[in-house]
């Protein structure tokens, strides 16, 4: 769940805040943890890095930032605009971003290992791209992933996204619905899920989950999250949950 901005906020360690007067449930209380990808589970915004390689970085980054802050409310339209600017980028540039720029966020592997040890399933929900999300899912041994499929022809991006069986673009509503669908698949209540994100596109899934976590997040997300990790890595969530 997201929390009311008026709820009490206490700092339990430097840069680690909880919007609750009571102790949070332990990690083992939950059965699923869902992560946003760009700037949450990984250290970059993939679309910005691809655009930078194409010489269109400033224009794409400006759209990304406005969308993350919630200033562009139609995420699908903002993503289509950004992807259109990537037309002609070679797949080799994606490989270069993966090899040279993309890293799991600090503490990501530790949090995922602890979650798995406690019996939680792991879910990656990204408004970014399957080209990266599937590689990351395999690298971190995540259970489920959903993201957007770039169209690639003859080794180059066409500037379009491909439709998939579930729909066209992973926006905030799709993140929420997918989290609920996976909860149903696992036979658990949404209250048994944790949702971790950093941008406005994550608020709907955070509201649906039993615990919302803002990781180095935009102000609008920090205002609504139950746990705020403003400093340090993702594994600081374990401290908030009593580990």
Q: Which residues are part of the catalytic machinery? A: 36, 38
Of 223, 224, 210, 205, which is closest to residue 37 (Cα–Cα)?
205
CA–CA separation, 101 vs 16, rounded Å? 27
Q: E strands along the chain, which residues?
A: 10-13, 16-18, 32-35, 121-129, 144-153, 156-162, 193-197, 211-215, 227-229
Question: Element (H or E) spanning 115, and its range?
Answer: helix 108-117
State the sign of the Cα–Cα–Cα–Cα dihedral 111, 114, 116, 121: negative
Q: Biggest alpha carbon distance in the chain?
A: 57
Q: Are strands 156-162 and 144-153 parallel, antiparallel or unpaired?
A: antiparallel
The count of other CB atoms within 10 Å of the CB of residue 53 is: 18
Per DSSP, 179 falls in state: H
| DSSP-derived 3-state class of residue 232 | coil
């Amino acid at each position: 769940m997201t929390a009311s901005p008026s709820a009490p906020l206490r700092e339990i360690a430097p840069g680690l805040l909880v919007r609750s007067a009571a102790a949070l449930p332990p990690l083992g209380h939950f059965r699923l943890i869902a992560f946003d990808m760009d700037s949450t589970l990984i250290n970059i915004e993939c679309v910005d890095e691809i655009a930078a390689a194409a010489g269109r970085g400033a224009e794409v980054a400006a759209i990304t930032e406005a969308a993350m802050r919630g200033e562009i409310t139609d995420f699908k339209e903002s993503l289509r605009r950004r992807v259109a600017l990537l037309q002609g980028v070679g797949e080799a540039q994606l490989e270069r971003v993966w090899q040279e720029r993309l890293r799991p966020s600090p503490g990501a592997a530790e949090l995922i290992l602890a979650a798995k040890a406690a019996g939680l399933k792991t879910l990656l929900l990204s408004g970014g791209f399957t080209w990266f999300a599937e590689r990351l899912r395999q690298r971190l041994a995540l259970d489920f992933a959903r993201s957007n499929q770039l169209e690639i022809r003859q080794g180059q991006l066409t500037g379009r996204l491909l439709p998939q069986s579930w729909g066209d673009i992973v926006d905030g509503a799709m993140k929420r619905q997918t989290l609920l669908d996976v909860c149903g698949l696992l036979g658990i209540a949404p209250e048994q899920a944790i949702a971790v994100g950093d941008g406005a596109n994550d608020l709907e899934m955070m509201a649906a989950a039993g615990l919302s976590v803002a990781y180095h997040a935009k102000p609008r997300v920090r205002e609504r999250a139950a746990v705020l990790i403003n400093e340090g890595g993702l594994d600081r969530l374990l401290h908030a949950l009593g580990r």
